[in-house]
């Protein structure tokens, strides 16, 4: 039972990431009936921006008691990731989708596929195709603060000159766990130019899972309020139900569409940071499979429905985690290798049983 | 110019087809004017050109002393040009109240941060909007349907709700596209009465497209007749009734 619960929670954490991405799919589809295949790439770019924020900005240096610096570090990374993804989405909509909006849904869909491939390849050129490990948050210490036996490994970033004469920064283990920083060690460190060392905080997967779930729990109601209660939300609903009528009733559809893209990608950017923290890596292809699965989640939940996207994401995550575990228990050793196939098979089953998705509204035709 | 609204030789061509050809219309404030013509005469296209749903190939549209030809549809709507549709175009899954309220809200901007933080100022403006929307619904006798989903309303009520929604723009020009379509004679005469009443109470200028001759003749002060995209006659109902071109267009010509 305990083991089941672990897989269940793991699935919820995973599902929360799908939900974060699925929300944007569903919102954009709801308004302009476009399956925005580039949405996974907004997520990927968000993840990269989050990665660079965590790696390079050293926000952890802020002078507050632990764990606030690390929390702040993540909050800023999430904010930057979300903003970057949102801005990218607005630009994409303006430059690529709006010009073809009147050309029909197939043209828009193909444009979306094109934008997706374009962003993937640009990311590969700009950030290389290398898989980058997740930058663990750091706790900085001056040498004075580490006098005595070290409780953990301590690292320092040092400049090295390569054979080409370039200067690169490299992380080096300078004090191993258990080693004592005595005057001799200290002199040696100072001679090497080390003034400051840091501890790397490895996040436990379970803690990350819980935080991701918590973030979803916090964010979902905000989004719901935004759509149900604000004027922009009402305009979004009006636009999704009849855009032409909305225009002629004084609603600026272009603004509504841009806002929808922004909000959807903003949320995906949050998911991007959640993803790299969960999987411990980032690369230019991370938008592809999670993006596709989030789309599946949106369809399972009923595309166009915001609660549906969240429910669909969670259900897909749990299915992907618990179902292979159960199958493995039943004697199928390779079940986990088949988890993606299982997820997509699940989509087919749901669509056969309920073609509009779990919370999707059946089409209501006007008489 | 002088009038409230005019089109100057507006023309719309779709490829080789001319849907509307050099149509000029003038409306003075407070007038109730009809546009009639057989099917395919270009009446709805003319409405689309007026509201900016479609762009003129040539010609200009003037509203309130301004040339609005270059303005987008939603901008023209905000200037006080509201319309209803031939085939009802409500937001079907919203409540009747929300259909009306959304238009008020759209005209007032999105409330920005105030909407998220639900500041007192924002709440007051929301309460005021709700009250206004309810007043409009009451005026059209729809107050009991306020919380019903639009698509669940009876057909005639949906037509009225569409007028309500248009009035939420606080328009000076109301464009009605076959408002009485599909209504029975009683409903039609009710509607005729309501439109006339709204016009005087709200200082509206009304331009309406209608198929039903009796309805048009009974309510409009002046009538324009279109056929094959061109104006073939204009005048008072009495003049139109006598016009041989109109009779020919309606009672069958070569097509």
What's the Rg (C-alpha) of chain A?
A: 23
For residue B51, list chain A residues with Cβ-Cβ distance below 8 A. Answer: 248
Name every residue whose Cβ is closer than 8 Å to that of residue B231 and which is 6 or more positions away in sequence: B22, B23, B24, B224, B225
> Mean pLDDT over residues B118-133, rounded?
81
pLDDT reported for residue B113:
55
Please, what is the Cα angle at B120 between B114 and B123, to 5 degrees?
75
Of all residues in chain A, what percent carry a pLDDT higher than 90? 36
Least Cα separation, residue A218 to chain B (angstroms): 15
B51 and A248: CB-CB below 8 Å?
A: yes
pLDDT reported for residue B167:
92
pLDDT reported for residue A229:
79
Chains A and B form CB pairs within 8 A to the count of 96
pLDDT in tens, A131-188: 998 888 888 887 777 777 777 888 887 777 777 777 777 778 878 777 777 787 778 8
Residue of A nearest to B83 (CA): A248
B101 and A366: CB-CB below 8 Å?
A: no
A241 and B110: CB-CB below 8 Å?
A: no
B168 and A249: CB-CB below 8 Å?
A: yes
Least Cα separation, residue B76 to chain A (angstroms): 8
Per-residue tokens: A17:
């990431």
> Mean pLDDT over residues B115-139, rounded?
80
pLDDT reported for residue A107:
92
pLDDT reported for residue A1:
65
A252 and B115: CB-CB below 8 Å?
A: no
Least Cα separation, residue A355 to chain B (angstroms): 20
Q: Do the Cβ atoms of A319 and A343 come closer than 8 Å?
A: yes
pLDDT in tens, A303-322: 888 899 999 999 999 998 88
pLDDT reported for residue A119:
95
For residue A245, list chain B residues with Cβ-Cβ distance below 8 A. Answer: 85, 89-91
Instruction: Report residue A147 CA to chain centroid gap.
Output: 39
For residue B77, list chain A residues with Cβ-Cβ distance below 8 A. Answer: 247-250
B106 and A235: CB-CB below 8 Å?
A: yes
B111 and A230: CB-CB below 8 Å?
A: yes
pLDDT reported for residue B111:
53
B77 and A250: CB-CB below 8 Å?
A: yes
ipTM: 0.83
> What's the rounded Cα separation, in Å, for the pair A197 and A134?
19
For residue A367, pLDDT over 60 is answered with no
> What's the rounded Cα separation, in Å, for the pair B54 and B47?
9
Residue of B nearest to A361 (CA): B93
For residue A250, list chain B residues with Cβ-Cβ distance below 8 A. Answer: 74, 77-78, 103, 106-107, 169
Name every residue whose Cβ is closer than 8 Å to that of residue A84 and which is 6 or more positions away in sequence: A45, A46, A49, A269
pLDDT in tens, A267-299: 999 999 999 999 989 999 999 999 999 998 999
Least Cα separation, residue B7 to chain A (angstroms): 18
Of A241, A247, A248, the CB nearest to B91: A241
Report residue B180: phi and psi, to 5°.
-100, 5
Question: Which of A77-81, A329-333, A360-364, B107-111: highest mean pLDDT?
Answer: A77-81
String of DSSP letters for chain B: --SSEEEEEEEEEETTEEEEEEEEEEE-TT-EEEEE-STTSSHHHHHHHHHTSS--SEEEEEETTEE-TTS-HHHHHHTTEEE--SS----TTSBHHHHHHHHHHHHT---HHHHHHT-HHHHHHHHHHHHHHHHHHHHTT-GGGTTSBGGGS-HHHHHHHHHHHHHTT--SEEEEESTTTT--HHHHHHHHHHHHHHHHHHT-EEEEE-S-HHHHHHH-SEEEEEETTEEEEEE-HHHHHH-HHHHHHHH----
Q: How confident is the model at residue B117 (pLDDT cuts 50, 70, 90)?
A: low
Q: What Cα–Cα distance (Å) separates residue A196 from each residue in A148, A171, A190, A267? A: 15, 12, 9, 36
Chain B contact for A250 (CB, 8 A cutoff): yes
pLDDT in tens, A231-270: 888 888 898 888 889 989 988 899 999 999 999 999 999 9
Least Cα separation, residue B153 to chain A (angstroms): 11
DSSP β-bridge partners for residue A181: A148
For residue B111, list chain A residues with Cβ-Cβ distance below 8 A. Answer: 230-231
For residue B115, pLDDT over 80 is answered with no
Of B92, B103, B169, the CB nearest to A241: B92
Q: How confident is the model at residue A366 (pLDDT cuts 50, 70, 90)?
A: very low
For residue B102, list chain A residues with Cβ-Cβ distance below 8 A. Answer: 231, 234-235, 237-238, 249, 251
Of all residues in chain A, what percent carry a pLDDT higher than 70? 98
For residue A258, list chain B residues with Cβ-Cβ distance below 8 A. Answer: none
B53 and A253: CB-CB below 8 Å?
A: no
pLDDT reported for residue B246:
84
Q: Do the Cβ atoms of A132 and A280 come closer than 8 Å?
A: no
Least Cα separation, residue A238 to chain B (angstroms): 6
For residue B92, list chain A residues with Cβ-Cβ distance below 8 A. Answer: 241-242, 364, 366
Q: How confident is the model at residue B174 (pLDDT cuts 50, 70, 90)?
A: very high
Mutation target to probe the A interface, by most A beta carbons within 10 A, among B89, B104, B175 is B89
pLDDT reported for residue B123:
78
> What's the rounded Cα separation, in Å, for the pair A185 and A146?
11
pLDDT in tens, A101-116: 888 889 999 999 999 9
Least Cα separation, residue A37 to chain B (angstroms): 27
Mutation target to probe the B interface, by most B beta carbons within 10 A, among A250, A252, A256, A266 is A250
Domain coordinates in residue numbering, chain A: 2-134+205-353, 138-200
pLDDT reported for residue A56:
85
Least Cα separation, residue A354 to chain B (angstroms): 21
pLDDT in tens, A33-81: 888 999 999 999 999 999 999 988 888 787 778 778 888 889 999 999 9
A248 and B74: CB-CB below 8 Å?
A: yes
> What's the rounded Cα separation, in Å, for the pair B57 and B55?
6
Residue of B nearest to A252 (CA): B74
pLDDT reported for residue A264:
94
Report residue A137: phi and psi, to 5°.
-65, 150
All domains in chain B, ordered by first residue? 5-251 (3.40.50.300)
**Mean pLDDT over the full length of chain A:** 87
Residue of B nearest to A240 (CA): B91
For residue A92, pLDDT over 50 is answered with yes
CATH code given to domain A2-134+205-353: 1.10.3470
Least Cα separation, residue A235 to chain B (angstroms): 7
Chain B contact for A234 (CB, 8 A cutoff): yes
Residue of B nearest to A231 (CA): B110
pLDDT in tens, B188-211: 888 888 888 889 888 899 999 987
Name every residue whose Cβ is closer than 8 Å to that of residue B49 and which is 6 or more positions away in sequence: B7, B10, B12, B20, B55, B56, B59, B61
> Mean pLDDT over residues B251-255, rounded?
55
């Amino acid at each position: 039972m305990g083991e089941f619960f672990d897989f269940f929670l793991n699935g919820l954490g995973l599902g929360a990431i799908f939900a974060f991405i699925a929300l944007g799919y569903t919102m954009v589809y709801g308004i302009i009936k476009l399956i925005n295949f580039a949405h996974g790439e907004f997520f990927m770019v968000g993840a990269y921006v989050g990665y660079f924020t965590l790696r390079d900005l050293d926000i952890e240096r802020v002078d507050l008691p632990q764990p606030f610096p690390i929390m702040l570090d993540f909050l800023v990374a999430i904010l930057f990731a979300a903003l970057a993804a949102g801005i990218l989405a607005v630009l994409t909509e303006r430059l690529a989708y709006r010009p073809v909006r009147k050309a029909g849904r197939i043209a828009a869909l193909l444009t979306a596929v094109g934008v997706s491939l374009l962003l993937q390849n640009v990311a590969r050129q700009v950030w290389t195709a290398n898989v980058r490990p997740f930058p663990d948050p750091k706790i900085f210490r001056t040498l004075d603060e580490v006098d005595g036996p070290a409780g953990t490994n301590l690292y320092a970033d040092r400049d090295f000159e390569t054979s080409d004469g370039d200067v690169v920064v490299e992380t080096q283990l300078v004090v191993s766990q258990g080693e004592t920083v005595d005057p001799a060690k200290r002199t040696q460190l100072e001679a090497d130019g080390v003034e400051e060392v840091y501890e790397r905080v490895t996040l436990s997967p379970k803690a990350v899972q819980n935080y991701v779930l918590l973030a979803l729990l916090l964010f979902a109601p905000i989004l719901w309020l935004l759509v149900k209660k604000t004027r922009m939300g009402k305009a979004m609903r009006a636009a999704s139900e009849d855009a032409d009528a909305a225009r002629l009733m004084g609603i600026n559809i272009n603004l509504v569409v841009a806002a929808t893209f922004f909000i959807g990608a903003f949320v995906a950017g949050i998911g991007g940071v959640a993803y790299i923290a969960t999987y411990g890596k980032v690369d230019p292809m991370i938008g592809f499979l999670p993006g596709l699965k989030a789309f599946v989640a949106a369809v399972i939940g009923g595309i166009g429905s915001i609660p549906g996207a969240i429910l669909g994401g969670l259900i897909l995550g749990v299915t992907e985690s618990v179902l292979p575990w159960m199958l493995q228990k039943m004697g199928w050793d390779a079940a986990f290798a088949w988890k993606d196939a299982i997820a997509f098979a699940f989509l087919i089953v749901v669509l056969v049983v309920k073609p509009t998705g779990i919370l999707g509204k059946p089409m209501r035709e006007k008489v | 110019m002088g009038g409230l609204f005019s089109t100057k030789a507006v023309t719309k061509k779709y490829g080789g087809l001319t849907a509307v050809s050099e149509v000029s219309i003038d409306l003075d404030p407070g007038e109730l004017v009809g546009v009639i013509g057989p099917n395919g005469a270009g009446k709805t296209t003319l409405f689309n050109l007026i509201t900016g749903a479609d762009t003129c190939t040539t010609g200009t549209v003037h509203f309130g002393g301004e040339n609005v030809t270059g303005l987008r549809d939603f901008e023209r709507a905000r200037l006080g040009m509201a319309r209803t549709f031939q085939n009802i175009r409500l937001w079907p899954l919203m409540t009747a109240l929300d259909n009306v309220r959304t238009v008020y809200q759209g005209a007032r901007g999105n409330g920005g941060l105030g909407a998220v933080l639900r500041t007192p100022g924002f709440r007051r403006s929301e309460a005021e909007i709700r009250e206004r929307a309810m007043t409009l619904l009451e005026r059209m006798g729809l107050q009991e349907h306020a919380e019903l989903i639009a698509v669940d309303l009876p057909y005639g009520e949906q037509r009225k709700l569409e007028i309500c929604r248009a009035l939420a723009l606080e328009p000076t020009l109301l464009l009605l596209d076959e408002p009485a379509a599909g209504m029975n004679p009683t409903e039609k005469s009710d509607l005729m009465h309501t439109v006339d009443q709204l016009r005087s109470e709200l200082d509206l200028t009304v331009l309406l497209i209608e198929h039903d001759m009796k309805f048009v003749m009974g309510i409009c002060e002046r009538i324009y007749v279109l056929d094959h995209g061109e104006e073939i006659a204009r005048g008072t109902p009495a003049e139109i009734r006598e016009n041989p071109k109109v009779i020919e267009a309606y009672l069958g010509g070569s097509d």
